[in-house]
Every structure is written in structure tokens, then in C-alpha cells.
Amino acid sequence: MDTDPRLKQSRAALTLAALGIVYGDIGTSPLYAVKETFAPGHGIPLEPATILGGISAILWALMLVVSLKYVVLIMRAHNKGEGGIMALLALATSACKAHPRQYTAILFAGLTGAALFYGDAVLTPAISVLSAVEGLEIGTTALKPYVLPIAVGVLIVLFSFQRYGTARVGTLFGPIVILWFIALGAAGIHGIAQAPAILRALNPAHGLAFVTEHGFASFVVIGAVLLAFTGAEALYADMGHFGKEAIRIAWFGLVFPALALNYLGQGALLILNPEAVTNPFYLLYPDWALYPMVALATAATVIASQATISGTYSLTRQAIQLGYLPRMSVLQTSAKEMGQIYMPAVNWILLVIVLAAVVGFGSSSSLASAYGVAVTGTMLVTTFLTFFVIRYVWGYNLALCLAATGFFILLDLAFFSSSLLKVANGGWFPLVLGAMMFVLMLTWWRGRHVLAERLRTSAIPVQEFLTSLFQYPPHRVPGTAVFMVANANAVPHALLHNLAHNKVLHERVVLLTVVIADTPWVPFNERVAVEALGNGCWRIRVRFGFKNRTDVPQALALCREHGLIFEMMETSFFLSRETLIPVTGSGMALWRERLFATMARNASSVVEYFNLPANRVIELGTQIEI
């Protein structure tokens, strides 16, 4: 039977888009991976045998980590089609709620992986753009003083453009990256033709010898080999946007062959000219192609950076909706694609830290020392969480689960432990960033639980309250009052304050609870649950997925099928604004309680987060000790 041509076209379009977004980071690794693998400081002599070994190690790292681990195994562990550390964390914690010890370990591991991702998000734009612009030094040393200012300028323009959304340039990403991979492959073929002996690097024995036969230096160099697969996490994180098939077709059809050819070509160049180790990527190209390649590499690294920045927005929104970070402003930049968002606070904080990294480290080689810790830490956590998905979601036996993930955990541990050797030389940077994000996420998660417990102990059950209230009913006024409350079984503080101060009750009263599910999407037909409480009172539960837009008015419009019609100009939204007062011995250390209170004060408006009509909102305050 012939395949539907529309399906073919859709798959082709998704594959093209995946090339631009998913593979920008890993596709720019040839700019620095070989140079750092053979850096003289490792103490491994640059001779044909070691060159074969280093290139072999890179090729087989791509095969094992990217092709086998991510493309074959990890991409099967999805949360209803969504990938990424937060989606995986939600899936794993949901499956292990009945196992408290495992739940805690999964939570801590997941937050660690997410925190390290932010370190990666800072370093990817910094090292990618800086390594591309450094190609100017190859043409003439006179341009060296301008490398850093140009890189800073490119980054400022990139981050400044974020508010317009990626849709305007998205169609250019795929073709540019295709041209980039073609250029990688063509240069690689030219290099291989000059020294065909490099093809012996396809034998994994050379790579194994390279990482085992040089004593401590072999362990050190593993931390450089890992630079070849930075960006592999993007394959998994962006699975929800493009689907497994498009990502797999792009990888095996173009990306992996082009990368393999280029790495082999760089190795061939080093066999012929070991002095080219100063920058084997750019020296692989003829003189006339240098500046065009600098321009193409800069475009490719901007695309790689764009993917990381967009991924940071997506991860942050997921963390907010899963309850690990406070509310922040989220702007939709596309009417068609829900994944295209802009978060101003995240954008500018990220830019400041990226510029600090570029200026502080000063070169791609210095940044390379800082890069591996965040990447391998996140990858290790991903493998760890995958074990629990295979075991408790898929229900496979323990031996099979250990076999499926054990090998990759050992591999990840080897890369991660090697990258830890770089802590003193820059690896501390992503660790400090990760530690800060971990503390913030864990404090917010714990603080919300402490606050919920305080509210629960003082809560008044809804049914008892309504029974008592309507024994002597208050004066009713026209319109609808929507009281938002986290606990669906408790009376909202805003309702109590409204009765106490205004002495009235609206003709229709709605107690509204919003729940964020641990799945990425909740369909419209499962979005609302309506319950009549009598006397014109209703209880509505609204469920959003952690990737759904939290649009409450849109959700309330779905209540029409249940006989409830909301006219926004006749509806008032009553919100409780809690003022948190840190108190010693109330569930967290005092400094964490103060941090939580500060985060709560600076969280973005509930009105904006739930897309409530600002002119129909009334906020009533209350003080709560935590």
C-alpha cells in the first residue's frame, strides 16, 4: 500500500526542522572536540597510533552514547510523547509514589539533573559562539583582539532577538544546518583522501587502547572525548516537538555520517600535520574557505544556542507547572506552536551569566574545561531515571532493567568522574550554578508543601461551611464569583474575608481548583470536572498538563457542556494573597523559609499566570506563618 504523500511531506518537514533545532549543539562539537582531545596538556604524545585511538574513541562514543543509548533506548522512555529531564522526572515519580525511599531518591536525582541543565544552558552558547568566532585567528593574528568583542556582540544580538520568537527564523534553521553538515562531510572526505589510514579508527580496539593504555592520562582525556556528544540530551528533550522518527531519520541519515566523516578528516589532517592540533577544524579547510566557514560556523552556533535557550524556557515552564519553581512571566510568541514561548526574566538572567562566562573564561579551550560536568551529570541522571521507568512503568523484571541501564550508567560514570577532574579549572562554574538552582527548586518544592500543610490544618471543610452558611443565608448580589483555592475540599480564605467584610454572597459562587497533572498534555474533554454543591454554589476542578497553557477563562468556557455559562463581564475572580512570615522550627531552616518567602513575593502575578481578566480580579490578603 502506498504511503499517504501528506504523511511523507509531514515527516520530511519534521526531519528538516529537527536538523535545525535538535542537532545544532552536537553538530557544532567538531569545532572544539578534536582540538581538546589531543591537547598537549593531557600528556599523550601526538603520533599516528594515538591519533587513530582518539578519533576511534570519539566515533564509538557517538555510537554508544548517542545512537545506542539515546536514539535506541532513552527515546522509548517518554511521557506521552514528551521527553526531557522534567517529563522523565514526572513519569518516574508518578510511578514510584508507593515507594517512599525510591520516590525521594528519584526526586533529588531529577532536580539535580534539571539544575545541571541550567549550567549546560549557560555554557553551550558561550563555548559554541566563541569557538566559531575564534576561526578569525587562523586567517590572521591581527584579528585576535576582536574575537571576544565579536562573540559578545553576537550573543547580545541573539538574546535581544528572543522576544520576537523563533518562528521568524525557524524556517532558515534547517537549510543552514543541512549546509553545515554537508560542509562537515565534504571536508572530512577530502581529509580522508589525503590519509586513508585514518579509516582504521573505525575499529573500536584503537579507541579502547586510547582510553586505557596511557595510565592516568587516559582517564583525563575521557573528559575531552565527551565534548563530541554534548547536545545529545537535546535529542530526548525535543522529542515531543518532532517525534522519534524524524529525530532518528535525521541522525542516521545525515548527522552521524557527516560528524563521523569530519572527525575522521580531522584525524587524517593530524596524521599528516601534527602541528594542526592548534585548530584542526578550520585548518582542515582550504584557505579560500576559511572565512565562509567562520560565517557558516557562527550561524550554526547561533542556531545551537537558540535551541538551548528555547529548551531553557521550556524546562523552566515545566518546572513552574510541576511546582519546582515560582511563577514567572511566560509570553507566547506563536499562535500556532505552543512550544514557542519567551520568558523575559529567564532570558536576561541567562544573558548576564553567559556574558560573564565568555569574558571570564576568555577562550573556548578554557570553557571546555567547564563544559563536561553539567553535560555528563544530566546524562547520568537521565539514565538513572530511565531505570525506574523501565522497572515500574513498563513492568520489566529487575534483571532486564539492570542489564538495559547498567552498562550506560557505568559509561556515564566514567565520563562524569573524568569531567570532575576539571573542577578546579572551570568545572566549578556549572556546579555552582547547578547547586544554586537545586537549592532554589528544592526550597520552593518543600516550601509549597509546608505552606499547604499550614493551610490544611486551618482549613474549614466546604460542605460543613455551606450547611452552616445557608441556615442564615447572607444577602445575594447579582453576578458570578470565582474563588480560587488550592485545596478543593477547603473553604477559600478569600471567601471568608469577603463574607466578613462585605457581608454579601454572589448569586453564583464557584470554588475553582487548578491541578497540574504529571502528564504533558490534558485534552479538552478531560480538562474540567463540575460538581453542584447546592444554593447556586459549584465546585470546578481544572486539570492542565505541564506543557499546557494555564488559561483559566478558556477552561471555564468548557463548562458550557455542564450547564454553566460564564460571561466575563459579569464574573469576578477572588484571589487569596498570602503574606508569608518565616518562623523558627516550622518545617525548614530559617534561611530557607526566608528564601521561600522572598521567592513567593517576587513570583509573577497569578492573574497573568492563569490569564485572568485583570479588571475582574479582586485580591484579599492573609498572613501565614511557615
Q: Percent of the chain beyond pLDDT 90? A: 49
Indicate whether 307 pLDDT > 80.
no
Q: How far apart are CA 366 and CA 91, in angstroms?
A: 37
Dihedral over Cα of 397, 398, 402, 403: its sign: negative
With residue 546 as reference, give the H or E element that holds it.
Answer: none
Question: How far is Cα 336 from Cα 349, in angstroms, rounded to an integer?
Answer: 27
- Residues 27-33 have a mean pLDDT of 91
Query: How far is it, in rounded angstroms, from Cα 356 to Cα 433?
Result: 12
- Give the residue-averaged pLDDT of 428-438: 93
Residue 251: half-sphere exposure toward Cβ, Cα within 13 Å:
26
Instruction: Retrieve residue 107's grid coordinates.
Output: 526526586
pLDDT band at 168; cut points 50, 70, 90: low
Q: Tens digits of per-residue pLDDT, 577-612? A: 878 888 877 678 889 999 999 999 889 888 989 999
In this prediction, residues 496-516 reach a mean pLDDT of 93
**Per residue in 55-110, pLDDT tens?**
999 999 999 999 999 998 888 887 777 788 888 888 888 888 777 888 889 999 99
Residue 1's pLDDT band, with cuts at 50, 70 and 90, is very low
State residue 332's pLDDT score.
74
Q: Are 606 and 612 in contact (CB under 8 A)?
A: yes
Residue 280: which of 342, 191, 407, 340 has the closest Cα? 191
Stronger pLDDT, 43 or 165, i.e. the higher one: 43
Q: What is the pLDDT at residue 149? A: 93
DSSP track, 558-608: GGGGGT----GGGEEEEEEEEEEE--TTSSS-HHHHHHHHHHHHHSPPHHH
DSSP letter at 422 equals G
In order of 232, 250, 300, 388, the CA distances from 74 in angstroms are: 11, 17, 26, 12
Long-range Cβ pairs for the range 345-351 (8 Å, 24+): 346/312, 346/313, 346/316, 347/159, 347/162, 347/163, 347/309, 347/313, 348/159, 350/121, 350/122, 350/159, 350/309, 350/312, 351/155, 351/156, 351/159
Distance CA(149)–CA(449), nearest Å, equals 46
Rounded CA separation 486/108 (Å)? 25
**Mean pLDDT score of the chain:** 88
Would the pLDDT of 6 be above 60?
A: no
pLDDT in tens, 337-381: 555 678 899 999 999 999 999 999 988 888 887 878 888 999 999
Of 266-280, 304-318, 321-335, which one has max mean pLDDT?
Answer: 266-280
Segment 534-546, tens digit of pLDDT: 999 999 999 999 8
Of these ranges, 8-17, 241-250, 547-556, the one predicted with the greatest mean pLDDT is 547-556
In this prediction, residue 4 carries a pLDDT of 38
What is the rounded radius of gyration, in angstroms, for the C-alpha atoms of the chain? 27
In whole angstroms, give the CA distance from residue 79 to residue 519: 6
pLDDT for residue 567 is more than 60 = yes
Asked if residues 548 and 522 have their Cβ atoms less than 8 Å apart, the reply is yes
| String of DSSP letters for 241-302 | HHHHHHHHHHIIIIIHHHHHHHHHHHHHHHHH-GGGGGSHHHHTS-GGGHHHHHHHHHHHHH
In sequence order, the 6+-apart residues with CB closer than 8 A to the CB of 9 are none
Query: What single string gives the DSSP state of each residue in 18-80?
Result: HHHHTSHHHHTGGGTHHHHHT-GGG----SHHHHHHHHHHHHHHIIIIIIIIIIIIGGGS-BT
The helix/strand/coil state of 623 is strand
Q: How many CB atoms are closer than 10 A to CB 487? A: 14
pLDDT of residue 171: 56
pLDDT at position 155 over 60: yes
Does the pLDDT of residue 7 top 60, yes or no? no
Alpha-carbon distance 383 to 378, whole Å? 9
Surface-to-core class of residue 163, CB atoms within 10 Å of its CB (0-12 exposed, 13-18 middle, 19+ buried): exposed
Q: Report pLDDT for 573.
A: 96
Closest CA to 53 of 61, 574, 115: 61
Query: Can you name the residues that pair with 192 across neighbouring β-strands?
Result: none
**Which amino acid is residue 130, in one-letter code?**
L
For residue 291 the three cell numbers come to: 572565512
Instruction: Give the domain ranges of the chain.
Output: 5-426, 455-625
* Segment among 4-18, 27-41, 455-469 with least mean pLDDT: 4-18
With a cut of 60, say whether residue 143 has pLDDT above it: yes
Residue 424: what pLDDT? 86
Q: Are the CB atoms for 111 and 324 separated by under 8 Å?
A: yes
What is the per-residue pLDDT for 141?
76
pLDDT of residue 2: 39
pLDDT band per the 50, 70, 90 thresholds, residue 172: low
**Between residues 607 and 334, which one has the greater pLDDT?**
607
Residue type, 546: F
Q: pLDDT band for position 191 (50/70/90)?
A: very high
Phi, psi of 544 (to 5 degrees): -120, 150
Domain 5-426 CATH assignment equals 3.30.9.10: no
pTM for the whole structure: 0.84
